Amino acid sequence: MPGLLILLFDPPFQRDSADHVYEIAQAALRKGHKVNIFLMMDGVYNPVISQSGEPFHMRSVSEKLAELLGKGVRITACRVCAELRGVKSEMLPKGVEIGGIYDLADMVAESDVVINFVGRN
């Protein structure tokens, strides 16, 4: 099964990166691809469950990521990035892993394609 790795560095709601990640992951799953998402830098804020899109009548990024988890997507947050930002595992949906550079290396090795979402200032 072809593998796709998506790296997400951007925080939620700042740019459209998280929405693009969600849509690309959904499309890849529909085509039968294995999808991994690795969250780095401010990207570790994306699955935090306390965020809410309700005031704007939209789903939060954490809800979208939880949906992807339910479809078999592996989502891993960088341990160092999370610790530096105060993001703890209990703040994340069940199934989001906290990992490190070795996990990222494994994901790269098993992927046919790597897509990188790094915002620009």
pTM over 0.85: yes
CB 98 within 8 A of CB 89: yes
pLDDT tens for the chain, 121 residues long, are 789 999 999 998 888 899 999 999 999 999 999 999 999 999 999 999 987 767 767 788 999 999 999 999 999 999 999 999 999 999 999 999 999 999 999 999 999 999 999 866 5
The number of beta carbons lying within 10 Å of the beta carbon of residue 43 is: 26
DSSP state of 54: G
CB 37 within 8 A of CB 68: yes
Strands of 34-39's sheet in order across: 97-99, 74-78, 34-39, 3-8, 113-117
Structural domains of the chain, ranges and CATH numbers in brackets: 3-117 (3.40.1260.10)
